[in-house]
Structure 1
């Protein structure tokens, strides 16, 4: 009835919008049956009245039960959509991403140009594997490309960012493959709203898709919605689009007990070659670990959908008239920024000899250059002589260290000795060692990063102030973010690898035993549970309340709190 009434009102409004002569000619040529429309409305109203009059009490009860069932179905759908299977931190514009860096201006130009050429290429390669050893800048390049696609910088208007996922083994959901395709699905829906109805239609019979296999998730969340949209777009209502998907850190994706998870993901992504008017292009970055290399090698031998590129160490520029290499450009700019903050430093500090020494120490690795600049140029340093001491500390000879990993380890040791133990007297050594183990040791083994306030509440001792003091001294390797409620994160994964490997970290004061730290955390978590769990934890003051009567948001909040406590030790509920 409402439909007929609206049609009648629209027709009447449009009719009287026209000029009098136009209305007359229109009525003459195609007269409208105004009386018939009114009679139709009256007939529908009469029919509804008759239907309502014959409804008995049982019919109304049945309607009420149906509505309750629908309400329950909607609630379950809401719960499914709000389950933590979408890793918001993996997205480019997440809160955590604001602390991540992009390529320094004027560096990595050749690599960025190669990836741009692949993005705009009409060729069959929809997968690009960027591989390189740790510290060569893979993640920074991935983030830079993602930002350029988001802003369409030097790219066609028909190219956009389809989604990102930055794997990180330090964070539970960012190392788990089941979060990958749901996260990319939500990102593509944001980028291309026209695909949302297709996603809903494909998954109407898959209410548990977030918990199904990787194959089903790929099929129902990514591939089939795009194939359906292509079919519906057969008349080219939408332009041909290229959606670039950036997946970084494949080597940090945890493998399931049932096989090679990364290999499964790569095999599924090859199926994107079925798309025509919509192109999904995947930029994939990782270390060249053997199982990943094997999977890519199999793809390259069986299809033409893959392009590869290997990041090499930056070769240092030699000679005074030779243009600066990328790392030298970076070091020169960052040390200049430090000079501007300290008026007592000479204007040409640190000088070409010191820059050349830092460049040799970096040995072509961005991770060394970036960490060294954070250490030397720490904004918490108030005195220029402390800056000079830190620079000289890094420039000391490493003895027989010749490998990039050895150079990095030597730098980490010097940072730890300068920051943690520099002013300690023998009587304080045990206390400082315990403080370091309880704070830094805990941070490196956590499954999920905690904030300063959360870590202080969990550990009870040391205090939040002691945590902040130690972490401010370790700012070049551990980031506190902004304020006590920001998550504490390792600046580099290699720092964790260094601390937990006693063959690399040869200073026993700083060696971290994962087994000891997990045991320590378990005790702290159990203590927290013992102090937290109690009757009427929801605060209802009614011990007879039924479980189904507990509000969903309250139940979810309590479960999440308990889960956060236990997940610190790798347990789950």
Structure 2
């Protein structure tokens, strides 16, 4: 606690507050670490204003009764869903951004650093969600322990939070569905590929190697693909300059994954144009 408390905050927290915190944590290390990270986040964001309520929120509102309650408290710090939103459109956009970022982290096929994930998710409009600020805000559940560089840190969600956010116990507004997570991640990868140009870096390499794998798993997750942005990207993916970017990976795996996507669309009775779009993309794969 001493490491996260500003030096000029005399007599805070009180011994009684620390004792209550320790008692409620009940020896559960991950619990204590998450709680301390959350307190640190509140200090960074609110300064001295949080002195009067941060411990009360943890110890009186159930924050340390169970891990689920602590996670709800962390989520409420991002978006309090109990109060009616002033702007419904912005409210929905922020929650969609939450599901996009957290979902992508959950389904990544390789470890990426914070800065690399931010680059991958450049398709999230800044007006909807500042991804970097969001990840800083959620670091209590994304990054275990102390780090020397936020940008170079690799998110490592505790299994309990992973299970919670993908389970019915999480508020529906925050719940992450695996199929949808793969879908938005595939879309982000395709956006990187379409805009690659002469770019060559870890994010492009990840996108080229995994866009179709995410797409395939999205089909397995029963995603409906009713998303115009995705179909616009499919059109761009068939441009010759773009084909040269993505057709450098394991073509047999790519062919199978895209074919499975087409089969999934057929089972969903998707319209003819969408099925034909998948067929045209398959013809671009030269085995």
TM-score where L is the length of structure 1: 0.32
- Equivalent residue pairs, number: 208
Matches of residues 289-368 of structure 1 in structure 2 within 5 Å?
Answer: 334=1, 336-339=2-5, 341=6, 343=8, 345-347=9-11, 349-368=12-31
Q: Deviations over 1:365-401 (max 9, x none)?
A: 1111111111112363451222443222111243xx9
Name the residue aligned to 2:278: none
Q: Distance in 1 between matches of 2:206 and 2:138?
A: 31
Name the residue aligned to 1:392: 56
Matches of residues 26-425 of structure 1 in structure 2 within 5 Å?
Answer: 334=1, 336-339=2-5, 341=6, 343=8, 345-347=9-11, 349-378=12-41, 380-381=44-45, 383-398=47-62, 407-421=66-80, 425=85
Higher relative contact order, structure no. (Cα contacts within 8 Å, ≥ 6 residues apart): 2
**Structure 1 residues 515 and 560: CA distance shift in structure 2, 3 A:** closer
Q: Distance in 1 between matches of 2:186 and 2:106?
A: 15
Counterpart of 2:149 (choices 463, 482, 491) is: 482
Residue 170 of structure 2 is aligned to residue 510 of structure 1: no
Residue 121 of structure 2 is aligned to residue 455 of structure 1: no
Return the offset for 1:352: 3.2
**Structure 1 residues 356 and 569: CA distance shift in structure 2, 3 A:** farther
Judge conservation of contact 1:477–1:492 (CA < 8 Å) in 2.
Answer: yes
Q: Distance in 2 between matches of 1:490 and 1:365?
A: 18
**Structure 1 residues 397 and 528: CA distance shift in structure 2, 3 A:** closer
TM-score where L is the length of structure 2: 0.59
Name the residue aligned to 2:208: 562
Judge conservation of contact 2:95–2:174 (CA < 8 Å) in 1.
Answer: yes
Q: Distance in 2 between matches of 1:563 and 1:446?
A: 12
Q: Deviations over 1:11-31 (max 9, x none)?
A: xxxxxxxxxxxxxxxxxxxxx
Q: Deviations over 1:26-76 (max 9, x none)?
A: xxxxxxxxxxxxxxxxxxxxxxxxxxxxxxxxxxxxxxxxxxxxxxxxxxx
Judge conservation of contact 1:420–1:470 (CA < 8 Å) in 2.
Answer: no
Judge conservation of contact 1:448–1:568 (CA < 8 Å) in 2.
Answer: no
Q: Deviations over 1:447-496 (max 9, x none)?
A: 22333443344333325781111111112112387254x25403523221
**Alignment RMSD (CA, Å):** 3.7
Specify which structure has the higher proportion of helix: 2
Specify which structure has the higher proportion of strand: 1
